[in-house]
Every structure is written in structure tokens, then in C-alpha cells.
Amino acid sequence: MYKKPLSTGLLGLGLPLALALSGAGIAVADEAPELTEEEREGAPELTEEEQERADMIYFQRCAGCHGTLRGGATGPDLLPENTQELGQRRLERIIALGTEGGMNNFDGILDEDEIELISKYIQGEISEPPEMSLADIRDTWEVYVEPEDLPDEPQHDRNWENFMVTILRDRGAMGIIDGDTKELVTEAETGYAVHVAKESSDGRFWYVQGRDGRLSMIDLWMDPPQVTSEVFIGIDARDVAVSHYGEWKDKYVIGGAYWPPHFVITDAKNMEPLKVVSTRGYDTEGNYVHEARVAALYNTPHQPSWLVNVKETGQIWQVDYSDLDNLRVEMIESAEYLHDGFFDPTGRYFQIAANFSHLMVFVDTETRKRVGMLNTGDIPHPGPGANWIDSECGPVAGTTHLGEGLMTAWGNDPDGHPDQAWEICFSVETDGPGLFLRTHPDSDHVWIDQSMHPEADVNQWVMVMDKETRELTPIQVADRPIEHDAVAVHMEYDQTGTEVWVSIWARGRGHQDDGAIVVFDDETLEVKDIIEGLNTPTGKFNVYNRMNHIG
């Protein structure tokens, strides 16, 4: 039985994960093949304590790209027959220095002993964490403030629509920052390594999915804002979405798990789990996929449905939430492996990266059919994406890439510009691979990060593209080079559309509290303010922009 979380455990992870990934709590699954005798002899031995420590490191730093069962996804597989062939010294060098294919260096994140340990670990036996039933999930459900006890109006006089809901990644919290005063209002305790946060239709409530499976609901009207209810929907998870359509507006929340591979539908008022659905199935070539992870979740603006992107299968599931007892699911085949996506300005067309196939995939959510696929470069990764008007191609969208320093833009207006639709308009070269780009309808610029490059003289800078000329201007985010491991990552505009906030994600050992957010004037590209002393800030979500789908 999956036990209810009791406290925050080792490395900020919830107790369920610590139990599930500990040496005593793992059962080897049929789908995770046992080592051959030769492989077993070639695997370095680990003590029980080392095994537990390595389980944690792998979950935190490796599983997202290489899979819970080490079968590979965005990154290659880490199966014993391959890792043992590379050998201990080669594995240590790869982990320490990264690769040109998009894996960042870990020599500033893990110490030498940890790099040695994880190199040994990935040569050994693969183990599978436990499953979770709806009853198991319900056992983790907590309500801290009953819906009827929530305030009827804001309990503070701050401009909460200009709050920046900010991921403090390794801190296991969301920083609520006042966009007007640049003050950190509070740190709301949430799951470890939050990947994303999504808003209620009025922007008041925010739903936050931690990598440890902890799905939390935050009320911005409370003083200070705080978590009102939560539930663990898995032991490894990434995304969340809210129902925003018609009579179902703000009725349901969906959380998607990496492990177990399923999605969970909850009551949006108090996070009560209502339904769990497995995503295991078959990929585009008909191969069974046991670890079919939910990569990303989105509400469709013109339909009572969510998009559930099943990473390893290459299928985009359009899940109709109008009748949970008779769940309707369209399975739209695209390509492997699905990751992040975003809508065009009309909210009709969905644009998502199938990054292992180097493709952007386009879906018409009204007809519930795929309308195009486009090779944009090596391993596209648009993050929240960006839409703007190009002087030659008209309406376009763009993506950065994990595998190369490249931003590619394509046409996304099939009605007004059919000849440009789902075709490359142009590409510009940056100095290194990145994770995010962002713009605003009133801005002349597109901001592009380079956070996946291993060198500080690239990853601590961003590129700012002029929409008219397509020329790039390099901007150093910090006022001086940061000697320890830190990258400039994730841009977000404020409510006025005149400020751009860029995170400095300080990842180096002992320097996690050195993180900051640098606020730029979007017109002059000059620094306006610096919010310092933040613990590992990454993604930021402006309440006004997100609830109005701006950017």
C-alpha cells in the first residue's frame, strides 16, 4: 500500500518518494529486465546506503531525460549492456562535462563522489517503483482550508494580478513575488522541483505540480498566499491543467505523472481525486510502451477537453472532460517523444515538440486532428513558446532547441496565410542551445535563453531578437560573470508588458541561495531591478498574462 506523506524527507523530497525509491521499497519489474550473469558480474557493487543515495540522485537529476526505468527518452537509454561498455571513467567524464547533444555538465551540481556513485549506479540492475491506485492516491489527499472557509475577497491590498508565481526549484516551494514592488511576498511550500504552474480562469488559484508527484492548490487572495489543499498523484510527475471551458470552468484539475504512467482528475475546489487513467499503450510503430509518461497537459480554449501528451508513445490524447463517467479520448498520433507545447494566438491550434524526432507537431483542437509536422532543428524545446507577427511571413511562432544554438520560426495562421502555415519562415543562430523563448504582443523583441550551453560565458547570457530586423543582441543577465554553476533561464513579461524578468538559476553546490531575478526594461534592454537571495528560481508565471493568454 502506498503510504500517506508525513513530512519532507531527504533532499526536500516527500516521504513517499523516499520510501518508493529506497532499496528496501523497490521491486524489480518484468518490464525492467534482470541483468545477465555477465552484466551482473560487470556491475560495480553498492552498499544499501549507496543504493538509496543513488536512487535519489537519479530521480532528481537523470530520470526526466533518461526515464524512470532508464529506457531513454530525450536522452539515450542507460541500460547496463550499454553503460558497462562505456566503463566507469568514461561515464564519469560524460556526467561531469556534458555532451554536445544537449546534456548539460554536472560537475558544478554534483560533487566528485556523487558523480562516481551515479556512474556506478547506472551500470547496475534496473528497478521499478510501485504502482498507485485511486485508493492510494486518495490516502495522500489533504485539505488545509475548506472551500467554504476561503476568503470572499483579497485579504491584502497588493496588485495580485501582477504577482509572479515563481518556481524555487530545489527549495520545493513557489515564491510569490509582487511585480509592482519587487518584494518576495511569501514562499508557499509545494513539491520538489516544480515543473510548471497553471491558473484558474480568474487567476486567483494556482495549481502546482512537483516532480515528486505533489499537486498543490494555492490561493493568491489569502494573506499571505498559501496552499489550501494537495494530493500526491504519483511519485514522479510534471504537469497540470485546469478545465476552463463552458459549464465546466474551474470544475476539474488534471495532473500527469511520469510514474506511474497515468493521469489523475481531481475536484478543482479541494483537490479530491476523482479518476485515474493509465497511459500505457503502443507507440507510432506499434511497440508496447510500459513507461508511457505524461509529458504535458493543456486545456483547449474552444472545447471541453484537455490535451494529454503521452511522451514515449508519440500520441496526443484529447480527453473530453464533459462526462467523466463516459470518458471520451481521441488518440492523435504524432511522433516521439512529446514534450512541451503552446497554442497559437487564436487558441485553436496546438504546437508541441516531438523532440526526439526533431519535429514540431501541430494539432487542430476543434477537428481534433493533426494538421502538420515540421523539422525545425535538433531537439526542439519551446517551453511556454512565443507567437508574434513577422514582417514577411505574418503570424509566426518559434522554438529554441536543446541540441543546437538555433531559434526557428514557422507560420501558424492557416486561414490568413495558408502558404506559410506549418512551414519554416526563418531561423537564427544563437551561441548555444536553450530551453525557453518569450515575447509580448506590444514588444519589439523576442527573448531567447541559452541555458543548455556548458560554458558560463554563454549560458549566463540571453539573446534578444528584433522582430523587424531579426537581428540578435546578446545580453549578460548578471552584472558580472558568476563563478559557480548558474544559468540565465526563463523569461516572463510583467502585467504592463514593459518589463522582462529573467531568472539566474544558481545550481552550484552550496550556492543555491545565490539565485536572483533580473528585471529588464524591454525597450532599452537595460537592467531596472534585481531581486536577490532567491533559492534556485527558474520558471515564472505572471498572473495577468497567463489568465489572459498573453505571449
Comparing CA positions, the residue from 191, 177, 115, 89 lying closest to residue 509 is 115
Q: Report the C-alpha gap between 353 and 338 in whole angstroms.
A: 6
- The percent of the chain in helix, strand and coil, each rounded to the nearest 5, is 20, 40, 45
For domain 27-121, the CATH class is mainly alpha
Q: Report the C-alpha gap between 67 and 329 in whole angstroms.
A: 25
Cα 528–Cα 530–Cα 535 angle in degrees, nearest 5: 155
Task: Write out the three cell numbers for 175.
Answer: 515564491
Q: Report the C-alpha gap between 501 and 527 in whole angstroms.
A: 10
Q: Report the C-alpha gap between 115 and 121 in whole angstroms.
A: 10
Q: Considering the entire predicted model, what is its pTM?
A: 0.86
Q: Report the C-alpha gap between 48 and 44 in whole angstroms.
A: 13
- Determine the pLDDT at residue 2: 32
165 exposed, middle or buried (CB, 10 Å; 0-12, 13-18, 19+)?
buried
Q: Report the C-alpha gap between 123 and 108 in whole angstroms.
A: 23
The reply to whether domains 27-121 and 430-551 share a CATH topology is: no
Task: Write out the three cell numbers for 125.
Answer: 540492475
The residues assigned a catalytic role are 62, 65-66, 103, 339, 381
Comparing CA positions, the residue from 92, 81, 91, 159 lying closest to residue 126 is 81
Homologous superfamily, domain 430-551: YVTN repeat-like/Quinoprotein amine dehydrogenase (2.130.10.10)
- Determine the pLDDT at residue 25: 30
Q: What is the pLDDT along the chain (551 residues), one digit of tens a residue?
A: 333 332 222 223 333 333 333 332 333 334 555 667 666 667 899 998 998 888 888 877 788 778 888 888 767 889 998 899 989 999 999 898 887 666 777 887 788 999 999 999 999 988 778 899 999 999 999 999 999 999 999 999 999 999 999 999 989 999 999 999 999 999 999 988 898 999 999 999 999 999 889 999 999 999 999 999 999 999 899 999 999 999 999 999 999 999 999 999 999 999 999 999 999 999 999 999 999 999 999 999 999 999 999 999 999 999 999 999 999 999 999 999 999 999 999 999 999 999 989 999 999 999 999 999 999 999 999 999 999 999 999 999 999 999 999 999 999 999 999 999 999 999 999 999 999 999 999 999 999 999 999 899 999 999 999 999 999 999 999 877 777 789 999 999 999 999 999 999 997 777 788 899 999 999 999 999 999 999 999 999 999 999 999 98
Q: Mind giving me the DSSP string for 92-119?
A: HHHHHH--TTSPPP-TTTS-HHHHHHHH
Q: Report the C-alpha gap between 377 and 360 in whole angstroms.
A: 9
Task: Write out the three cell numbers for 267.
Answer: 475536484
Q: Show me where the domains of the chain are located.
A: 27-121, 430-551
The sign of the dihedral angle between the CA atoms of 256, 257, 262, 267 is: negative
**Structural contact between residues 353 and 374, judged by C-beta atoms closer than 8 angstroms:** no
Q: Mind giving me the DSSP string for 295-340?
A: EEEEE-TTSSEEEEEETTTTEEEEEE-S-GGG-EEEEEE--S-EEE
**Cβ contacts of 38 within 8 Å, gap of 6 or more:** none
Report in angstroms the alpha-carbon separations of 190 from 100, 130, 396, 537. 34, 23, 36, 14
